[in-house]
């Protein structure tokens, strides 16, 4: 058994609402991609090659007959593999549904592609001319820009997932082959999307974190409806975050104003109880008396009440003088 299979990461995370199954954003995106058709033959070959590389297992019978077994939990993806294999390879293809009754798990679909020796494996970029496993991605599959996008679409369909944009932005493709994961990362970064590779247990994860890069990725692999939904949610989320920042900023400013007013009232009362407000210069005395009378007024409002009127900066300057005087009196009392 020659295994080139990566675990199928559907990440469906379904929820039940009013008796209906609500698919995750990741599953909806994959179903859209699986239904894409009308691509050029070179693009379809690249997509099929990625699908079988990620989710396929090579079976060799006693009489040297080759077959690829490709397993997926997505019916649309299984249908796509079936159609691509029939159209491109011109080989017999079977599909088997494996029903999982325990814990209401999803059905799985086995697509069996009967091959004509090593020639088909070489065309799919799975082995080289010597029959050895091809490391990374065969260059003939991704010569053109459209082929590169198609290969990434197949890789995402087989081992990818994307978080709901309401939460943390994250897109990933999981492989069990470090060389293939590295090649996938390099292919993604041909589009300048800032992809990186990390290890999670015994899996190799190619991931993208930036929302703008995720939008570009799902756009060029062909998930245009998912892209619009992602953008709608992202815009609403950004607006909501901006409103929250403004509210928090306004709240912080109000807290500062209240704290300053309380400090001013305490200092004015302290001066009145020690040396008396009549000891202050007239400009500071008028300011202190107004603050005591209108404890809730803003600096601008206090300045409007003075005669002649004083601007906000002038009022702030006088309040600072009162604060400094109160501090000097406290220091003098502390030294006695």
- Give the DSSP letter string of 73-142: S-HHHHHHHHHHIIIII---EEEEEE---GGGPPPEEEEEEE--HHHHHHHTTSB-TTSPBPPS--GGGS
Assess whether 205 and 92 both reside in one domain. Answer: yes
pLDDT digits (tens, 9 = 90+) for 107-146: 889 999 998 878 888 889 888 877 788 888 999 999 999 9
Residue range(s) defining the domain that contains residue 86: 2-222
Establish if 86 belongs to a structural domain.
yes
Each residue's pLDDT expressed in tens, for the chain with a length of 336 residues: 335 433 334 433 333 243 344 578 999 999 999 998 878 999 999 999 999 999 888 888 777 788 899 999 888 999 999 999 999 989 899 988 887 666 556 788 999 999 887 888 888 988 887 778 888 899 999 999 999 999 999 999 999 999 988 888 999 999 989 999 999 999 999 999 999 999 998 899 999 999 999 999 999 999 999 999 998 888 888 788 788 888 888 787 777 878 888 888 898 998 888 888 888 888 888 888 888 888 888 888 888 988 888 898 998 899 899 989 888 888 887 765
| CATH code of 101's domain | 3.10.28.10
pLDDT digits (tens, 9 = 90+) for 202-213: 899 999 999 999
Assess whether 257 and 188 both reside in one domain. Answer: no
Contact 207, 171 (CB under 8 A): yes
Number of domains in the chain: 2
Give the helix/strand (H/E) hosting 149.
helix 145-159
pTM score of the predicted model: 0.69
Establish if 99 belongs to a structural domain.
yes
């Amino acid at each position: 058994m020659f295994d080139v299979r990566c675990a199928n990461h559907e990440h469906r995370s379904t929820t039940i609402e009013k008796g209906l199954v609500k698919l995750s954003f990741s599953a909806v995106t994959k179903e859209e991609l699986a239904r894409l058709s009308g691509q050029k033959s070179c693009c379809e070959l690249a997509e099929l090659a990625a699908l079988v590389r990620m989710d396929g297992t090579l079976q060799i019978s006693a009489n040297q007959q080759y077959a690829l077994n490709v397993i997926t939990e997505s019916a649309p993806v299984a249908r796509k593999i079936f159609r691509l294999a029939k159209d491109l390879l011109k080989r017999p293809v079977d599909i088997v549904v494996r029903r999982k009754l325990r814990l209401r798990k999803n059905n799985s679909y086995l697509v069996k592609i009967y091959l004509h020796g090593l020639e088909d494996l070489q065309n799919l970029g799975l082995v080289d001319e010597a029959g050895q496993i091809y490391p990374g991605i065969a260059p003939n599959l991704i010569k053109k820009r459209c082929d590169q996008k198609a290969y990434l679409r197949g890789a995402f369909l087989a081992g990818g997932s994307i978080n709901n944009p309401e939460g943390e932005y994250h897109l990933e493709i999981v492989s069990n082959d470090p060389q293939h994961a590295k090649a996938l990362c390099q292919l993604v970064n041909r589009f300048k999307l800032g992809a990186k590779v990390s290890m999670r247990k015994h899996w190799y994860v190619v991931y993208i974190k930036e929302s703008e890069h995720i939008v570009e990725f799902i756009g060029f692999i062909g998930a245009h409806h998912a892209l619009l939904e992602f953008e709608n949610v992202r815009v609403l989320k950004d607006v909501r975050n901006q409103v929250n920042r403004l509210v928090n900023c306004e709240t912080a400013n109000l807290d500062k104003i209240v704290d300053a007013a309380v400090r001013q009232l305490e200092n004015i009362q302290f001066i009145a109880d020690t040396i008396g407000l009549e000891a202050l210069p007239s400009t500071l005395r008028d300011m202190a008396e107004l603050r005591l009378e209108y404890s809730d007024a803003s600096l601008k409002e206090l300045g409007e009440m003075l005669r002649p009127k004083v601007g906000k900066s002038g009022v702030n300057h006088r309040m600072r003088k009162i604060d400094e005087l109160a501090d000097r009196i406290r220091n003098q009392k502390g030294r006695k």
